[in-house]
Structure 1
Amino acid sequence: MRNYKGQSRVIIESVIPEINNGQYYAKGIVGKKIRVECDLFGDGHDVVNGSLLYKHKNARSWSETPLIFDINDHWFADFVPEKQGIFEFKLEGWVDHALNWQYELKRKVEGKQPVNVELLDGVNYLNNILKKASKTDKKYLEKGIQLFNEGIQNPETIEYALGDKLLYLFKKYPVKEFKTIYDNDLKVYVDRQKALFSSWYEFFPRSAGDYTDTHGTFKDCIKRLPYVAELGFDVLYLPRYIL
Structure 2
Amino acid sequence: MTVEAKNLSRDAFAARIAQCPAVILPLGATEQHGYHLPLGVDIILAEALAVRVAEATGATVMPAMPYGYSWVWRDAPGSVTVESRTLEDVIVQIAESLARHGVRHVFLINGHEANGATMKYASRRLWDHAGVKVWRLFYPDLGSVMAEHCESPTWHGIVHACEFETSLMLAVAPHLVDMDKAVREYPDRDRGYFQGGRPMGELSESGVFGDATLATAEKGEAMLSIFVDSMARAVREICAEA
- Calculate the TM-score normalised by the size of structure 1: 0.23
Which protein is richer in strand relative to its size?
1
- Calculate the TM-score normalised by the size of structure 2: 0.23
Which protein is richer in helix relative to its size?
2
